[in-house]
C-alpha cells in the first residue's frame, strides 16, 4: 500500500484529503506545516513516504522553498503541489524545481486520484525499465531518428552507409545531439544486429570499476570480488560495444582497449589467460579528441583505431529545421506516456522553440516538451508552458547578434538554471541536458559559485 504525506496549513483540507486517500486504498500522514514535514523526512531516508502532496502557500515556509529542501534531501520522492487559483507561476516554478505535477484548488477528487494513479504507474514503469536495463547492461531502447534538415540527412545517410561495414566508428558532437541514437542505428543496421549492443558510459565509473565492468573479474581478484563476473566485452561478443564519453578514459584503460582492438583478445581482471572476442566498437565523445591527442591525454594509436570512420553530429542550433519535427515527436511520446490528450503545438510556441539556442541540444528540447506536456491543461502546447530557459531564447539570440561570445552565453545560461534550481546540480544537469560530470567541469571553468555556500 502506498503512503502519501500531505502537507497543508488548513486543517479542513488535511481531514478531507486524509479521508479521500484512505477510502481509495492509500496510507497517509498529515502535516500542518512544511517544517514538520521536512523534520519528519529529514529524520530518516524517505521515512516510508511514496509521494508528497503539498500546498504552496503556507505561513512558516512556503511549499516552493520546502520543495527545494526536500529535493536536496530526497530527490526521488515525487511531489504534487497544490496551488491556488490564478497562481500558475507557482506551479511552473515548482515543476521546474522538480515537482511531478500540480493541481489547482479547488479540485474534484477524481482529478487528484487520477494524478496519483498516473504518478505511481509512471514511477513503477520507470523503475522496472531501469532495473531491466541495469540487469541486462543493454543500451536504452531508442525510437526513430527524427530530422528534416539537410545537415542531419547527410549524417543519417553516412550512418547507414558505414553501418554495413565492420569498421570502428567515432561519433562526435555536443552533449545531447544524439550520439547514442546514432550508435544504436549503426548496430541495428549492421550484420551484428542479431547480437547484443552493449553500452557503457566511461565517465560514470571510476577507473577500477570501469576496468572490471569492461573486462570482467575472477573471484578473489580484489577485495569484495566474491564471485567471478563476466565483463561487458564478453556480453558484446559477436555484437557491438558502445563506449560513451571515451574522452574520459584513463591512459591505463586506453592501453587495454587498444590491445582488444588490435589483437581481438583481452585478459579478465585477476586472470593471466587471454580470451578472444569479436566486437565492433562504436565510441562517442563531446570532446575534441584530436586536441586531446595533441595535448597527450589520449593515445594517438587508439584514436586512429576507433576513428576509422568519424560521424560528426551538428548541434541543434545549426539545424533549426529539425526543431519542429523533433518537438512534435516528443509531444506524441510524452502525451501518450502520460495519457494526456495534448495533440498540437501553437505557432507562437514553435517560434519560441525555434528562436532558442539549445545549449543542451535535443535532450534539452525533449525535457522542455516533457515538462510542457505535464503542465498542459488543454489539447495544445502554448508558449507560456515553456520553461524560462526556452523563453530566454530570444534574449540570448539578440545578445549573440551583439557579438557576445558563445561561451559567455553558455555561462549565463548555466548560471541562471543553477540559480533557478537553488544550485541543485543533478537537477540542473537534467534541465540543461548535460551529464553531471560535464556540469561540474563547467562550474569550475566558469567559476560559478553557489551564493548559499559563500
Ligand atoms: N534526431 C533525433 N530524433 C529523435 N530523438 C533524438 C534525436 N536526437 C536525439 N534524440 C533524443 O535526445 C536524447 C539525447 O540523445 P543521446 O542520448 O543520443 O545524445 P548524446 O549525444 O549521446 O548525449 P551525451 O553526450 O550527453 O551522452 C535521447 O532521448 C534521444 O533519444
Name beta bridge partners: 283.
Answer: 170, 243
Separation of alpha carbons 88 and 85, rounded Å:
8
| Residues counted in the chain | 454
197 shares a domain with 310:
yes
165 shares a domain with 105:
no
Whether 173 is in a domain gets the answer: yes
Please give the average per-residue pLDDT across 374-382, as a whole number. 89
The CA-based angle 383-384-389, given to 5 degrees, is 85
For residue 10, what is its C-alpha cell? 488548513
Ligand 1 contact via 147 beta carbon (within 6 Å): yes
Ligand 1 contact via 362 beta carbon (within 6 Å): yes
Residue 98 makes CB contacts below 8 A (sequence gap 6+) with 67, 71, 75, 79, 421, 424, 427
Ligand 1 contact via 363 beta carbon (within 6 Å): yes
Whether 96 is in a domain gets the answer: yes
The CA-based angle 71-408-201, given to 5 degrees, is 50
Distance 357 CA to ligand 1 centre (A): 16
Atom of ligand 1 nearest to the CA of 183: 18
Residue 446 pLDDT level (bands cut at 50, 70, 90): confident
Separation of alpha carbons 368 and 122, rounded Å:
18
333 shares a domain with 281:
no
Residue 381 pLDDT level (bands cut at 50, 70, 90): very high
Last residue of a domain, one of 264, 288, 314: 314
Whether 447 is in a domain gets the answer: yes
pLDDT of residue 246: 95
Q: Supply the ipTM of this predicted assembly.
A: 0.98
Number of domains within the chain: 3
Distance 96 CA to ligand 1 centre (A): 21
The tens digit of pLDDT for each residue in 161-215 reads 999 999 999 999 998 999 999 999 999 999 999 999 999 999 888 888 888 889 9
Between 240 and 108, residue with greater pLDDT: 240
Query: What CATH number does residue 447 fall under?
Result: 1.10.8.60
Last residue of a domain, one of 314, 331, 362: 314
Boundaries of domain holding 445: 321-453
Whether 138 is in a domain gets the answer: no
CB 325 within 8 A of CB 331: no
308 shares a domain with 391:
no
Q: Shortest CA distance to 329 belongs to which of 315, 313, 345? A: 345
Ligand 1 contact via 366 beta carbon (within 6 Å): yes
Ligand 1 contact via 448 beta carbon (within 6 Å): no
Atom of ligand 1 nearest to the CA of 329: 4
181 shares a domain with 102:
no
Ligand 1 contact via 67 beta carbon (within 6 Å): no
Distance 175 CA to ligand 1 centre (A): 8
Ligand 1 contact via 334 beta carbon (within 6 Å): no
For residue 185, what is its C-alpha cell? 542505428
CB 411 within 8 A of CB 399: no
Whether 143 is in a domain gets the answer: no
123 shares a domain with 192:
no
374 shares a domain with 343:
yes
CA-nearest residue for atom 18, ligand 1, is 178
pLDDT above 80: residue 453: no
76 shares a domain with 35:
yes
Q: State pTM to two decimals.
A: 0.62
CB-based burial label for 340 (10 Å; 0-12, 13-18, 19+): middle
294 shares a domain with 242:
yes
Whether 157 is in a domain gets the answer: yes
Q: Classify residue 248 by its DSSP letter.
A: G
Consecutive H or E run containing 169: strand 169-172
Atom of ligand 1 nearest to the CA of 182: 18
Q: What percent of the chain has pLDDT over 90?
A: 48
286 shares a domain with 169:
yes
185 shares a domain with 84:
no
Query: What CATH number does residue 123 fall under?
Result: 3.40.50.2300
Give the chain's radius of gyration (CA, Å): 24
Ligand 1 contact via 247 beta carbon (within 6 Å): no
Separation of alpha carbons 243 and 284, rounded Å:
6
The tens digit of pLDDT for each residue in 36-49 reads 999 888 876 657 88
Last residue of a domain, one of 278, 298, 314: 314
Ligand 1 contact via 180 beta carbon (within 6 Å): yes
292 shares a domain with 171:
yes
CA-nearest residue for atom 16, ligand 1, is 178
Amino acid at each position: 500500500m502506498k503512503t502519501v504525506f500531505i502537507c497543508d496549513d488548513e486543517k479542513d483540507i488535511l481531514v478531507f484529503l486524509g479521508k479521500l486517500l484512505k477510502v481509495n486504498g492509500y496510507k497517509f500522514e498529515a502535516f500542518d506545516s512544511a517544517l514538520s514535514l521536512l523534520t519528519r523526512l529529514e529524520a530518516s531516508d524517505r521515512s516510508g513516504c511514496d509521494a508528497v502532496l503539498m500546498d504552496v502557500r503556507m505561513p512558516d515556509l512556503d511549499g516552493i522553498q520546502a520543495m527545494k529542501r526536500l529535493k536536496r534531501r530526497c530527490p526521488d520522492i515525487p511531489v504534487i503541489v497544490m496551488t491556488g487559483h490564478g497562481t500558475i507561476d507557482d506551479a511552473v516554478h515548482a515543476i521546474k524545481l522538480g515537482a511531478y505535477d500540480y493541481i489547482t484548488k479547488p479540485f474534484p477528487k477524481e482529478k487528484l486520484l487520477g494524478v496519483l494513479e498516473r504518478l505511481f504507474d509512471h514511477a513503477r514503469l520507470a523503475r522496472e525499465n531501469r532495473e531491466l536495463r541495469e540487469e541486462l547492461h543493454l543500451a536504452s531502447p531508442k525510437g526513430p531518428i527524427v530530422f528534416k534538415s539537410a545537415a542531419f540527412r547527410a549524417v543519417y545517410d553516412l550512418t547507414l552507409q558505414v553501418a554495413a561495414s565492420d569498421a570502428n566508428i567515432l561519433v562526435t558532437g555536443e552533449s545531447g545531439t544524439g550520439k547514442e541514437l546514432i550508435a544504436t542505428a549503426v548496430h541495428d543496421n549492421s550484420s551484428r544486429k542479431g547480437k547484443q549492443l552493449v553500452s557503457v558510459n566511461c565517465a560514470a565509473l571510476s577507473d577500477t570499476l570501469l576496468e572490471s565492468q569492461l573486462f570482467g573479474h575472477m573471484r578473489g581478484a580484489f577485495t569484495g570480488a566474491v564471485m567471478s563476473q563476466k565483463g561487458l566485452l564478453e556480453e558484446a561478443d559477436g555484437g557491438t560495444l558502445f563506449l560513451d564519453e571515451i574522452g574520459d578514459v584513463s591512459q591505463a584503460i586506453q592501453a587495454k582497449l587498444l590491445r582488444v582492438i588490435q589483437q581481438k583478445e583481452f585478459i579478465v581482471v585477476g586472470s593471466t589467460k587471454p580470451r578472444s572476442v569479436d566486437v565492433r566498437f562504436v565510441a562517442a565523445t563531446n570532446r575534441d579528441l584530436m586536441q586531446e591527442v595533441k595535448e597527450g591525454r589520449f593515445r594517438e594509436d587508439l584514436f586512429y583505431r576507433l576513428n576509422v570512420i568519424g560521424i560528426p553530429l551538428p548541434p541543434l542550433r545549426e539545424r533549426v529545421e529539425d526543431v519542429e519535427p523533433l518537438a512534435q515527436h516528443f509531444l506524441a511520446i510524452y502525451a501518450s506516456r502520460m495519457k494526456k490528450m495534448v495533440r498540437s503545438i501553437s505557432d507562437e510556441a514553435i517560434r519560441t522553440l525555434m528562436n532558442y539556442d539549445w545549449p543542451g541540444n535535443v535532450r534539452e528540447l525533449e525535457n522542455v516538451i516533457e515538462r510542457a506536456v505535464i503542465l498542459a491543461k488543454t489539447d495544445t502546447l502554448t508558449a507560456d508552458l515553456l520553461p524560462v530557459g526556452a523563453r530566454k531564447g530570444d534574449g540570448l539570440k539578440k545578445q549573440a547578434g551583439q557579438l557576445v561570445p558563445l561561451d559567455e552565453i553558455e555561462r549565463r545560461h548555466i548560471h541562471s538554471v543553477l540559480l533557478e534550481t537553488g544550485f541543485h546540480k543533478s537537477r540542473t544537469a537534467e534541465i540543461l541536458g548535460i551529464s553531471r560530470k560535464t556540469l561540474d567541469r563547467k562550474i569550475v571553468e566558469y567559476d560559478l559559485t553557489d551564493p548559499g555556500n559563500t
